[in-house]
Amino acid sequence: MSAPTSETVEERIVQNVVATLQAISPTNPTTEYWTTVKRVFRQDRDPQTVVQGETPAVAMLYESSTPYYDFVGVINYDLTLQLYLCMAKASETNWARDLGRFKADVQRALRLDPRRGTHNDDANAFDSHVTEGRASNAENSPVVMARIDLLIQYRHLVNDPTVAA
């Protein structure tokens, strides 16, 4: 038996989220943004330890991917991604305003395509939900962060995780 010729539905969804975040820039021709995202990290570590010097950045952590069965031959998933928006906290800038703008940019970008792209003319997901961002500001940290949770609901065939259903 040969290896699958395409990525799993979940991986295509994650790649779509990364590409969506990387496209956030004031020079984007289709949507006006305040922020330019310098880097998107896929990781399982503390976001502050990775992004210093590369901000504004987004650190994406997998919260969970919960399967459940609904239809015969199909597995449904609730995939939760935690997105940590990280910015340098310079004393001469209004970082609170800038972080608020960054949150607004990310939320707007993620809401443009709740189906997280297509593959072979099928949507990768059937819905995405963006939560309200929560900011954090550690007193002695050079980085300020906000967290946004992204819940993505998708399904694939039981016997083929590369085919969206």
Structural fold of domain 9-159: STM4215-like (3.30.2000)
* Residue-wise pLDDT tens digits, 122-131: 788 888 888 8
Tell me which residue of 145, 9, 19, 152 sits closest to 83, measured CA to CA.
145
DSSP-derived secondary structure letter, 31:
S
What pLDDT, on the 0 to 100 scale, is given for residue 127?
83
What pLDDT, on the 0 to 100 scale, is given for residue 1?
47
* Residue-wise pLDDT tens digits, 42-69: 876 666 665 566 788 898 988 778 888 8
Which residue's structure tokens are 């819905």? Answer: 127
CB 37 within 8 A of CB 31: no
* Residue-wise pLDDT tens digits, 65-105: 888 887 788 999 999 999 989 888 776 668 888 888 999 99
Pairing relationship of beta strands 143-157 and 74-88 according to DSSP bridges: antiparallel
